[in-house]
Amino acid sequence: MILPKTNRLTPEQLAEITAVVAEFGCKIQPIIGAVRTIYAIVGDERDELMINRLEGLSYVDRIDRIQSPFKLMDRRSDLATHRITLGGAVLGEELLVIAGVCTIDPKNPNYFHETAQAVKEAGAQVIRGGVWKPRTNPYSFQGDTKSLDILMEGSRRTGLPVDTEVMEEAHVKLALDAGVHVLQVGARNALNYSLLRAIGRAVAERDTVVLLKRSLHMGPLSEFISAAEYIAAFGNPNIILCPRGTAPTLDGYRNHPDESITPLLKEKTWAPVVVDPSHSVGKASYVPACALAAVAYGADGLCIEAHVSPNQGIGDDPKQSLTPEVLTETITQAKQIWNLRRPVKAG
């Protein structure tokens, strides 16, 4: 829909926009109002170049799009009935909990194994463990490929699927060859379109799940959903959206908590939403409240950092990992909120 700056376009302006959209196989249908005339684009209005050319015309105020730019992730797409199952849980039917260490310590694998067992007992259905780490400080521990074996050993011992972050194409291949069940795309790479494409291509013929974090710098929600579309375009619709806080930070928290975007996402996309409260608030004492708020806002699950002995952990674990006791309590309360979300039965 083209909204002009004036009440209506001149015949010359109308001829110009008609010629622009015709190049993209579309037509213009004026909708004449009492005061103002607007101009519908009839046809597939998703071509970015067509929209850019129209927006560049001096007499065009703005373009309102009716069709969404994401074909597969749109909640009106045929994929809307698609269900993702992880660790025996069908997303949307029961609360999914992904929990475990921020960073696997390759020198002390037992912390990871003990944590994996503890988070399983707390009710998590997926174990997380960072093998490769995106660190702000280049001199901080960057992860170690050796940790991939520890991660997979944890999966064998617990019988649960595992999640780890991949930062480059080489990680994708290593993780898939090792049998990682959930590839995590981190906040720093959520706008790395060549990596998103590479992941989409690599998981196309598999049942691997991709957990896509929201970037610190994503603006409109459509930017987040379009990033997921890059992966889905290759054929694997097992994609979970993961809000994890954005920039600029809310003073005192690690990021600006964004668990409240879930209802907005669900209006646009069918994709399940699993919120990461750990990176959102960045301090263990704030994590449970953020986790519960996320479930109240309609999240399908939570991704929480936990450690049997946070002080002995590396990466984010000392500051933001929950102990198994607090994780157990948080999951119990989160499930109570989940149950409250069910519509109250009449009578």
Q: Which residues bind Mn ion (CB under 5 A)?
A: 102, 316
Segment interacting with ligand PEP, rule: CB under 6 A, options 74-82, 184-192, 294-302, 318-326: 184-192
Residue 9 or 102 having the CB closest to Mn ion: 102
**Residue 265 interacts with ligand PEP (CB under 6 A)?**
no
Q: From the list 41, 102, 231, 306, which residue makes contact with ligand PEP (rule: CB under 6 A)?
A: 102
Cβ pair 254, 284 in contact under 8 A = no
**Residue 187 interacts with ligand PEP (CB under 6 A)?**
yes
Q: How far is the CB of 51 from ligand PEP (least distance, A)?
A: 31
Q: How far is the CB of 114 from ligand PEP (least distance, A)?
A: 19
The single residue listed with the structure tokens 């994996």 is: 116
Cα angle 321, 326, 327; round to 5: 70
Q: How far is the CB of 118 from ligand PEP (least distance, A)?
A: 18
**Residue 142 interacts with ligand PEP (CB under 6 A)?**
no
Whole-number Å distance between alpha carbons of 170 and 178: 12
**What 8-state DSSP symbol labels residue 251?**
T
**What 8-state DSSP symbol labels residue 164?**
E
Which residues inside 314-333 make contact with ligand PEP, applying CB under 6 A?
A: 316
Q: From the list 120, 171, 213, 307, which residue makes contact with ligand PEP (rule: CB under 6 A)?
A: 213
Element (H, E) at 163: strand 162-165
Element (H, E) at 86: strand 85-86
Around Cβ 105, how many Cβ atoms within 10 Å? Answer: 21
Residue nearest to Mn ion (CB): 102
**What SS3 state is found at 302?**
strand
Q: From the list 171, 266, 279, 307, which residue makes contact with ligand PEP (rule: CB under 6 A)?
A: 279
How deeply is 296 buried, as exposed, middle or buried, from its count of CB atoms within 10 A (0-12, 13-18, 19+)?
A: middle
Q: How far is the CB of 185 from Mn ion (least distance, A)?
A: 14
Cβ pair 102, 134 in contact under 8 A = no
- In the shown chain, the binding pattern of residues 154 to 173 toward ligand PEP, with x for contact by CB under 6 A and - for none, equals -----------x--------
Residue 2 or 102 having the CB closest to ligand PEP: 102
Q: From the list 4, 87, 186, 237, which residue makes contact with ligand PEP (rule: CB under 6 A)?
A: 186
Cβ contacts of 134 within 8 Å, gap of 6 or more = 165, 167, 186, 188, 189
Q: How far is the CB of 229 from ligand PEP (least distance, A)?
A: 20
The entry of ligand PEP, Mn ion, none near residue 186 (CB within 5 to 8 angstroms by kind) is ligand PEP
**Residue 134 interacts with ligand PEP (CB under 6 A)?**
yes
End-to-end, the C-alpha distance of the chain in Å comes to: 46
Whole-number Å distance between alpha carbons of 6 and 229: 36
The entry of ligand PEP, Mn ion, none near residue 266 (CB within 5 to 8 angstroms by kind) is none
Closest CA to 180 of 273, 272, 277, 104: 104
Residues linked to residue 91 through DSSP beta bridges, in sequence order: 94
Q: How far is the CB of 102 from ligand PEP (least distance, A)?
A: 5
Segment interacting with ligand PEP, rule: CB under 6 A, options 31-39, 150-158, 183-191, 326-334: 183-191
| Sheet containing 27-32: order of strands | 27-32, 37-42, 2-4, 60-63
Q: How far is the CB of 41 from Mn ion (least distance, A)?
A: 44
Closest CA to 97 of 315, 308, 327: 327
Residue 208 or 320 having the CB closest to Mn ion: 320
Q: How far is the CB of 21 from Mn ion (least distance, A)?
A: 47
The single residue listed with the structure tokens 């929480």 is: 304
Q: From the list 244, 287, 298, 330, which residue makes contact with ligand PEP (rule: CB under 6 A)?
A: 244
Whole-number Å distance between alpha carbons of 299 and 338: 9
Site residues for ligand PEP per CB under 6 A? 102, 130, 134, 165, 186-188, 213, 244, 276, 279, 316
